[in-house]
Amino acid sequence: MARLITSHDKLHAHAISGALCLAQLLVRWLLLFMTGSAFAAAESAIFSVAALAVHALAPLLSLSIGVPAKRNMSSPMVWPEFRMHSLIFSTRHVASCTAALLLPSPLARVAQLAIAHAAMVAASITTERLGDPNQRTTSAMPYPPGVGASDVAMVKDAYAYAQLLATAQSLAGDAHLSYMALLAIQLAPLMMTLVRKGLAKSEHYHFVYACALAMPALGMASASTHNAVAMQASAFTLICGVVARELRFRFRFGKHLTWLVAPALGWTLSTAAIGVLPVRAATALVVCALALVFAGFRPPRLAATWLVLAFRAREGRRSLKPAPKLSAARAGSACVACVAAA
């Protein structure tokens, strides 16, 4: 723990706020799985908003701590552009949750749309001033030695799609869904800090980040089985995410146009589907769709890739030497070992 504390963090404000973020994430995710709601029934909206503020405060306080001006291309570590993106997207979800908690539904959706587009503008300005247009934040992330090019491409595709779904969650009109995306957004800089301090390696970062990106699918499934509002919001997220993916990656729409068209189609189709189908059928459909999203639409390959990252994380604790390439048989044995260790 002492290696995580720095003299540049005045009064340890960033460390304390970061610890509060982790504690709140743990409590709210437990609530989500137990009750289908990330916010307790007895919790007032004002208290919820005040508690959520710490998720924006922690990345804001990190600005006072020095980081290398140039990005490290051999290991995932925090650099100025990433730090600003972390602040922007954390604030996006905090503001989106606040809108959903305090405003009536139609107005909350309009506010969330404005917040999302403001975040896009802020992220573009950050990339223009601090970033490299040829080395995007996620796509240029270093990977462990021995991970094949095809696996890297697949993981990048899964990361990109998960980020689209996170944006869709921030537009769903539901505070629970918007909160879920904060898990990956705030675990990423924590893992990068651990890498920088020598307490973790790149394989640990990718494994934790991939799991954090997958968690909202489980969270949406839990919320959808408890209330109809979350079920419709989950259906919206799925439809909006798929439409946004096609518009951005296949038809090359601009991001602002994409996030005007995709939400409009998402709300229209999800409202129609939930209104026509019986509640149980709609719930089953949403949960099944979430299962597909959880697997990235390519269950065997994506699961195998995450398994490779998990195996390399285990190997990394034993040796600093790069792990050899994994055969299918060795990957299977690694899976058994990981499960047994758990």
Phi, then psi, of 174 in degrees rounded to 5: -130, 125
Neighbours of 265 (CB within 10 A): 16
CB–CB of 179/251 below 8 Å?
Answer: no
Q: What per-residue confidence (pLDDT) applies to 275?
A: 67
Q: What per-residue confidence (pLDDT) applies to 288?
A: 65
Q: What per-residue confidence (pLDDT) applies to 69?
A: 86
Q: What per-residue confidence (pLDDT) applies to 269?
A: 82
Q: What per-residue confidence (pLDDT) applies to 326?
A: 38
Phi, then psi, of 298 in degrees rounded to 5: -135, 75
Q: What per-residue confidence (pLDDT) applies to 72?
A: 87
Phi, then psi, of 197 in degrees rounded to 5: -80, 0
Q: What per-residue confidence (pLDDT) applies to 40?
A: 92
> Which residues does the chain have with pLDDT short of 50?
1-2, 296-300, 317-342
Phi, then psi, of 97 in degrees rounded to 5: -60, -45
| Among 81, 68, 334, 16, CA closest to 203 | 334
pTM: 0.83
The Cα 83–Cα 62 span in angstroms is: 8
The dihedral over CA atoms of 270, 272, 278, 280, expressed in degrees to the nearest 10, equals 0
Q: What per-residue confidence (pLDDT) applies to 156?
A: 85
Measure CA 258 to chain center: 20
3-state DSSP assignment of residue 98: helix
Tokens standing for 115?
């917040």
Q: What per-residue confidence (pLDDT) applies to 291?
A: 60
Domain coordinates of the chain in residue numbers? 2-299
CB–CB of 81/71 below 8 Å?
Answer: yes
